[in-house]
Structure 1
Amino acid sequence: MENKTQEEASTIKVSSLTCIDLANPNFQQSAVSLKQACLDCGFFYVTNHGISEELKDEAFEQSKKFFALPLEEKMKVLRNEKHRGYSPVLDQILDPENQVDGDYKESFFIGIEVVLPGWRATMEKYHQEALRVCKAIARLLALALDLDTNYFDKPEMLGNPIAVMRLLRYEGMSDPLKGIFGCGAHSDYGMLTLLATDSVTGLQICKDKDVKPRKWEYVPSIKGAYIVNLGDLLERWSNGIFKSTLHRVLGNGQDRYSIPFFIEPSHDCLVECLPTCQSENNLPKYPAIKCSTFLTQRYQQSHVNLSIYKQP
């Protein structure tokens, strides 16, 4: 575990993030604002997204009902080798250098093909709406990267995407100096994440992951808005022009619920430097890699082996 004096940088500051209005008819103006937000820190809000508060509230209600079940019931839908299903507390450790245990959270991964029967109406509707919003953001990202608006709509990219929603419940009190976190510091693996949170404070971002000591800022929840952040695959695609941003969650003793929606290109998509992000003086920094290979590596690095849950 690294010297904890590095983790004593102020976490009092509340971050001020750009807000992108998805209903703005001036698409170019929105793309310019989005590009600046991506260059600044890779986190921003979106409003006028078209997802009703009623649908979001119902998704949170269904999430709370699931996590209120006895552990033995939740373990009946334990995650599989594709990481769809239930992950118990401490199942994932995202920042092993700074964590003494795994994350103090439990989660349920829902893919397009995996929905518990009792949730189908709500979760399928929410999944469809979140996917629609992510594709709209991806079109703005394409413009921000000097690509055609529909560049990412190709079948091998977001025409046939990996799109997963995750229900999360954080518990307990975090203590960074003791290596105890609701969720350890990490960047997301995929292209982008659409995040819905409740009103309980906890999410923090580090705008510059290369500067030590790290400086953490809280990201407040804004009613009617979603938080969006960029992932590692987009950093690779953009040749490092757009950065995936470190973030973590500190628990304050209250239960905290969130629903992140992750979108990645298709399993077989070869993620390599975009044509507008390279030149003779700016060669590709990352080797090409198949999306499924990259994601599998990252998931395996951060989750405990499923064999520990098997009965002797």
Structure 2
Amino acid sequence: MNAHHTHFDRLPVVDISGLYSDDLDVRLATAQVLDRAARDAGFFYVTGHQVSREQQAALVDHAQRFFASPHDWKMRYYIGQSLAHRGYVPEGEEVFAGGKRDKKEAFDTGADLPLDDPLVKAGTPLLGPNVWPDQPGFSDAVTSYYKAAFALGRVLFRGFSLALGLPETHFETYLSKPPSQLRLVHYPFDASAADAPGIGAHTDYECFTILLPTAPGLEVMNGEGRWIDAPPIDNAFVVNIGDMLEVWTGGTYVATSHRVRKVSEERFSFPLFFACDYATVVEPLPKFATPEAVEKYPPVSAGEHLFAQTAQSFTYLKQRLERGELVLPDGSKALASFGQQARHATLEE
């Protein structure tokens, strides 16, 4: 159990440029810094990456143009009409733990797999083709950014491997075709906004998240149950531990609960939820498999966990569950079952 994740009042900053070094000692030293941030906060800034400012700017520009379009046009690309959970997410579509509807809209993408891909043909949830709006340059900008951010995710996973005393490529075997989702998220301007949540408190269901935000609003729960501001830093990503890394490390890394405060400033946010392959079974690594950890974290299918959490939070999927068109996998956890939120369940969200 993580005894360190308590008193932080700001997020650590980790310069990961050393993870790109040819010198193993430099990579190890950087991994140790990464490890401390993951243990102490589970949420941290990453600098020294190789995602260009041009790729970031193009993504933001196309998101701004898309979300400024008329609602009826955006609904042509409604996620509920897609084959692989891709497309436009209107305000109120998502409902997190506690029944709160989100005050945001989004556009969801992922690895663009063709219909004849074996995993897609087999009906693997959350894998398949993207939905692209009729907006010139949109697909190119989003795809370019996705590839760059995904490459960063691979680098971070190698750093986590070193930090955890594993072979540097340990997690590579789980990254052949993961359902890693890139979301373009828009929090509209609201001049009357009160200091209240704009997106409900939650953990992320995957291994970790790489976030590019454009404005303040993100809050992180520390180990005492207090909400800590996480404002943007120029050319830095916000990275947070997800449910699967919490399981793999037996709670040594905590999937830190977070939310978006309802602020008056218009805000765009671009999380890449870095997942492992759908069929991956995740349980505490031998190093962390104490009796307590094994009891708390039984083996879980990464893909089934992601699908179950998604199906419980998207209205169109909840409706399919109610109609019997979908069934949750056996042993599915309820929303908000990981992280500090689960440990402070009685706190007001």
Deviations 1:247-273 (A, max 9, x none): 111122121001111111111111122
Residues 272-311 of structure 1: matches in 2 within 5 Å? 272-279=283-290, 283=294, 285-305=296-316
The alignment's TM-score, normalised by the length of structure 1, stands at 0.85
The alpha-carbon deviation at position 45 of structure 1 amounts to 1.4
Residues 108-147 of structure 1: matches in 2 within 5 Å? 108-113=107-112, 114=130, 116=132, 118=136, 119-147=138-166
Task: Give, in whole Å, the separation in 2 of the partners of 1:75 and 1:281.
Answer: 47
Counterpart position of 1:66 = 66
Q: Work out the percentage of aligned pairs sharing the same amino acid.
A: 30
Task: Give, in whole Å, the separation in 2 of the partners of 1:270 and 1:188.
Answer: 17
**CA separation of 1:61 and 1:14: change in aligned 2, threshold 3 A:** farther
Counterpart position of 1:7 = none
Counterpart position of 2:102 = 103
Between 13-22 and 60-69, the greater mean CA deviation after superposition: 13-22
The alpha-carbon deviation at position 57 of structure 1 amounts to 0.6
The alpha-carbon deviation at position 149 of structure 1 amounts to 0.6
The alpha-carbon deviation at position 71 of structure 1 amounts to 0.9
- Is 1:94 aligned to residue 89 of structure 2? no
SS in 1 for 2:264: coil
Counterpart position of 1:259 = 270
Counterpart position of 2:187 = 170
Unaligned 5+ residue runs, structure 1? Answer: 1-12
The alpha-carbon deviation at position 34 of structure 1 amounts to 0.9
CA contact (8 A) 1:174 1:182 kept: no
- Total equivalences in the alignment: 284
SS in 2 for 1:182: strand
**CA separation of 1:105 and 1:274: change in aligned 2, threshold 3 A:** same
Task: Give, in whole Å, the separation in 2 of the partners of 1:284 and 1:149.
Answer: 28
The alpha-carbon deviation at position 275 of structure 1 amounts to 2.1
Counterpart position of 2:325 = none
Between 13-22 and 296-305, the greater mean CA deviation after superposition: 13-22
The alignment's TM-score, normalised by the length of structure 2, stands at 0.76
- Is 1:186 aligned to residue 202 of structure 2? yes
SS in 1 for 2:262: coil
The alpha-carbon deviation at position 110 of structure 1 amounts to 0.5
CA contact (8 A) 1:238 1:274 kept: yes
The alpha-carbon deviation at position 306 of structure 1 amounts to 5.2
**CA separation of 1:282 and 1:301: change in aligned 2, threshold 3 A:** closer
The alpha-carbon deviation at position 18 of structure 1 amounts to 2.8
Counterpart position of 1:238 = 249
SS in 1 for 2:44: strand
Counterpart position of 2:332 = none
Task: Give, in whole Å, the separation in 2 of the partners of 1:14 and 1:273.
Answer: 29
Task: Give, in whole Å, the separation in 2 of the partners of 1:193 and 1:282.
Answer: 23
Counterpart position of 1:203 = 218
**CA separation of 1:281 and 1:190: change in aligned 2, threshold 3 A:** closer
Counterpart position of 1:33 = 33
Unaligned 5+ residue runs, structure 2? Answer: 1-7, 113-129, 321-349
Deviations 1:8-49 (A, max 9, x none): xxxxx9724232323454111111111110111111111121
Partner AA of 1:150 in structure 2: T
Task: Give, in whole Å, the separation in 2 of the partners of 1:32 and 1:107.
Answer: 35
Aligned CA RMSD, in angstroms, stands at 2.2
The alpha-carbon deviation at position 303 of structure 1 amounts to 1.7
Partner AA of 1:186 in structure 2: H
Deviations 1:44-95 (A, max 9, x none): 1111211111110110000111111111111111113642111111111223
Task: Give, in whole Å, the separation in 1 of the partners of 2:27 and 2:53.
Answer: 25
CA contact (8 A) 1:89 1:105 kept: yes
The alpha-carbon deviation at position 184 of structure 1 amounts to 0.9
CA contact (8 A) 2:11 2:45 kept: no
Task: Give, in whole Å, the separation in 1 of the partners of 2:254 and 2:47.
Answer: 22
SS in 2 for 1:183: strand
CA contact (8 A) 2:312 2:318 kept: no
Between 115-124 and 129-138, the greater mean CA deviation after superposition: 115-124
Task: Give, in whole Å, the separation in 2 of the partners of 1:88 and 1:63.
Answer: 14
- Is 1:21 aligned to residue 2 of structure 2? no
Task: Give, in whole Å, the separation in 2 of the partners of 1:123 and 1:294.
Answer: 26
Higher RCO, 1 or 2 (CA under 8 Å, sep at least 6)? 1
Partner AA of 2:65 in structure 1: K
**CA separation of 1:167 and 1:280: change in aligned 2, threshold 3 A:** closer
